[in-house]
């Protein structure tokens, strides 16, 4: 729309200019003729009037007098038309200036917009080069902005972006080009001495520090952080497009390093990003192709030594890449928003498989912190139970402690809905994050899992031993059973049993197994059941669960 306005203003202004130029010679000729005629007529009529006034008997020629009046009217008309036309040109030229300003300016922050950033960056970079200086492009992304926008609304988000823009203006050198590239992404081009790139480092550090300060909107203080990617044109960079792309690649590296920091572009980053983009594309194609499958790690009853169930783990069986561990694909799936579909597809397969196991065997599934932001997560899990006919009482959902801080109220709602269906909830990795008794009070957990980093080192590290002992004692006092991860030797089992831990898992009992290997193991132990069209008890439990969930949903609504 702005481009159309700009073109319209240009066309109108040009049209008026042409009209003015075309009429100027004619207007000049008419005015000259009219003035000449005025002189002649004025002289004749004037002299007649003077003689008549002096009583010399001469009378004023009425025809000449009328011609003089018409001549004066013509002069006034030509002058007025010329003035109006000139004013119209001025008005449209001012409109043209405004339209051009709007076309390159972000209306919210009054910074340059994405359309203008390339041209303005190129201009500043060229001027810097002529003076023997260098230019750096900083790509800035706000961490945590989406959450504020979603929770408090777009008006609050807009106010926050305006405050961010004002803080940036006050922080960067005066000659810098500032732009809003879209959403919560900004660009800054600044000049610096080539031999002192630390100047740019200081500006980046200042931006990170000042943007991390609380921003008050209404009665609420909001906190965000910033990740910054930096590139400079001297590094075999032959265009502004490449400069901005490299800053974007460096921004990705800054986010990968933990956010709230900055990173300069390095040549290896581009290769890494291409690899990552290729991985992302393969993951996106692998989900509908059913390439993600469950693997199962045994969970043992430490009191009896019997198999109690399995923890479900994700694996990617790619026809091109082979068997891929979750450490490679889970972070990418979380960053790109694919983790929900990926996780649910694997859980579905695990439920369908576990239906054929001994009914006393449970399965534990991990929920990503990203999934815990989904207000419909509970409904999706219950839907899987109904579709697969898997009993809710045999399912345990594991939630990491650190993910609770993202949105405690939403986590409480999800946990409450799941527990209402008979699903058990475990607090995973307890002790590694924001350990607090308030979590155990806020959410009704059925189990606490001690992180493997403490269990595997508890025999040689007194601090780890103390933490394991404290968590086991806490579970005993709260009547919450404890599962220990990372068991690798018999001595650890003996110690955990002394402390009262009820379940254990780790490579001491074997590595995670595929579906086929689990079937073989369970068949050898006579722990597979004959599959029927539908188990009556399981079907009744699933039907009851979905009906109860619908009732809860109506009550909430």
- Are residues 388 and 518 both part of a single domain? yes
Q: Which of 50, 82, 104 is the C-terminal boundary of a domain? A: 104
- Domain assignment present for residue 511? The answer is yes
Same domain, 138 and 97: no
What is the distance of C-alpha 286 from the center of its chain? 24
* Token pair 């402690």 in the structure block, residue: 401
Given the structure tokens 């989900």, which residue do they identify?
287
CB burial of 200-218 (b: ≥16 within 10 Å; e: otherwise) equals beebbeebbeebeeebebe
Question: Is there a domain that residue 281 lies in?
Answer: no
Which residues of the chain carry a pLDDT beneath 70? 1-71, 74, 85-86, 88-92, 94-102, 235-238, 405-406, 431-439, 530-557
- Co-location of 493 and 448 in the same domain: yes
Phi, psi of 303 (to 5 degrees): -80, -35
Domain match, 62 and 189 both: no
In degrees and rounded to multiples of 5, residue 138 shows phi and psi of: -110, 120
Examine the domain organization and report whether 340 and 476 are in the same domain. yes
Q: Is residue 271 part of a domain?
A: no
Domain count, the chain: 3
Question: What is the SS3 string spanning 253-321?
Answer: HHHHCCCCCEEECCHHHHHHHHHHHHHHHHHHHHCCCCCEEEEEEEEEECCCCCEEEEEEEEEEEECCC
pLDDT for res 532: 46
Considering the domain architecture, whether residues 251 and 360 belong to the same structural domain is answered as no
CA 186 – CA 140 distance, rounded (Å): 5
**Sign of the torsion angle spanned by Cα atoms 467, 468, 474, 480:** positive
Asked if the structure places residue 459 within a domain, the reply is yes
Do 447 and 328 have their domain in common? yes
**Which pLDDT score is estimated for 16?**
47
- Domain membership of residue 280 (yes or no) is no
pTM, rounded to two decimals: 0.66
With contact defined as beta carbons under 8 Å apart, do 388 and 355 qualify? yes
Answer for the pair 348, 384: CB distance below 8 angstroms, yes or no: yes
- Interacting residues of 468 by C-beta distance below 8 A, sequence separation 6+: 450, 454, 455, 458, 484, 496, 499
CA distance 229 to 245: 10
What whole-number distance in Å separates Cα of residue 413 and Cα of residue 377?
10
Q: Tell me: do 91 and 120 sit in the same domain.
A: no
Tokens 């493997």 belong to: 452
Q: How far apart are the first and last CA of the chain?
A: 42
For residues 324 and 463, membership in a common domain is answered with yes
Tokens representing residue 318 in the block: 């790619």
pLDDT of residue 48: 56
95 and 152 assigned to the same domain: no
Are the beta carbons of 324 and 292 closer than 8 angstroms? no
Q: Identify the pLDDT of residue 10.
A: 44
The whole domain housing 218 covers: 114-265
Is the C-alpha dihedral spanning 239, 242, 246, 252 positive or negative?
Answer: positive
Residues 348, 408: one domain?
yes
Residue 336 lies in a domain: yes
Pair 162, 209 in one domain: yes
What is the DSSP code (8-state) at residue 1?
-
């Amino acid at each position: 729309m702005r481009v159309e306005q700009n073109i319209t203003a240009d066309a109108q202004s040009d049209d008026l200019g042409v009209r003015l130029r075309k009429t100027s010679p004619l207007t000049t000729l008419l005015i000259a003729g009219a003035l000449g005629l005025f002189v002649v007529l004025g002289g004749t009529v004037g002299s007649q009037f003077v003689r008549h006034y002096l009583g010399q008997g001469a009378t004023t020629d009425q025809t000449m007098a009328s011609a003089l009046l018409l001549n004066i009217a013509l002069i006034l008309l030509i002058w007025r038309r010329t003035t109006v036309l000139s004013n119209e040109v001025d008005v449209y030229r001012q409109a043209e200036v405004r339209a051009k300003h709007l076309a390159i300016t972000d209306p919210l922050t009054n910074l340059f917009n994405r359309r203008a950033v390339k041209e303005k960056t190129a201009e500043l970079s060229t001027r810097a080069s002529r003076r023997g200086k260098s230019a750096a492009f900083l790509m800035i992304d706000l961490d945590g902005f989406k959450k504020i926008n979603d929770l408090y609304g777009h008006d609050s988000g807009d106010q926050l972006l305006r405050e961010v823009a004002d803080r940036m203006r006050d922080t960067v050198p005066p000659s810098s080009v500032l732009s809003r590239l879209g959403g919560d992404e900004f660009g800054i081009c600044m000049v610096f001495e080539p031999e002192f790139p630390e100047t740019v480092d200081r500006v980046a550090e200042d931006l990170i520090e000042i943007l991390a300060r609380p921003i008050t909107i209404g009665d609420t203080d909001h906190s965000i952080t910033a990740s910054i990617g930096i590139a400079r044109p001297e590094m075999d960079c032959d265009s502004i497009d490449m400069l901005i792309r490299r800053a974007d690649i460096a921004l990705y590296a800054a986010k990968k390093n933990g956010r709230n920091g900055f990173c300069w572009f390095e040549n290896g980053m581009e290769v890494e990003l291409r690899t990552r983009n290729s991985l992302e594309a393969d993951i996106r194609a692998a989900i509908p192709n059913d390439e993600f499958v469950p693997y199962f790690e045994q969970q043992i009853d430490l009191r009896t030594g019997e198999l109690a169930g399995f923890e479900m783990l994700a694996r990617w069986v790619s026809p091109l890449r082979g068997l891929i561990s979750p450490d490679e694909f889970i972070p990418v799936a979380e960053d790109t928003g694919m983790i929900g579909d990926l996780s649910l597809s694997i859980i579905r397969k695990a439920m369908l498989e576990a239906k054929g196991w001994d009914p006393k065997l449970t399965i534990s599934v991990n929920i990503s912190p990203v999934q815990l932001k989904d207000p419909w997560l509970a409904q999706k899990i219950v839907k899987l139970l109904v579709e697969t006919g898997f009993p809710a009482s045999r399912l345990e959902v594991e939630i990491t402690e650190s993910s609770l801080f993202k949105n405690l109220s939403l986590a409480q709602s999800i946990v409450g809905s799941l527990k209402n269906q008979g699903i058990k909830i475990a607090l995973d990795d307890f002790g590694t994050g924001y350990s607090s008794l308030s979590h155990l009070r806020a959410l009704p957990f059925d189990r606490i899992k001690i992180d493997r980093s403490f269990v595997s080192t508890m025999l040689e590290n007194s601090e780890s031993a103390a933490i394991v002992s404290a968590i086991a004692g806490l579970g005993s006092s709260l009547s919450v059973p404890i599962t220990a991860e990372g068991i690798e030797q018999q001595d650890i089992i003996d110690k955990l049993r002394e402390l009262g831990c009820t379940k254990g898992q780790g490579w001491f009992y074997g590595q995670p197994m595929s579906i086929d290997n689990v079937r073989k193991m369970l068949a050898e132990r006579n722990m597979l059941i004959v599959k029927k069209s539908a188990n009556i008890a399981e079907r009744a439990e699933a039907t009851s669960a979905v009906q109860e969930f619908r009732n809860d949903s109506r009550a909430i609504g």
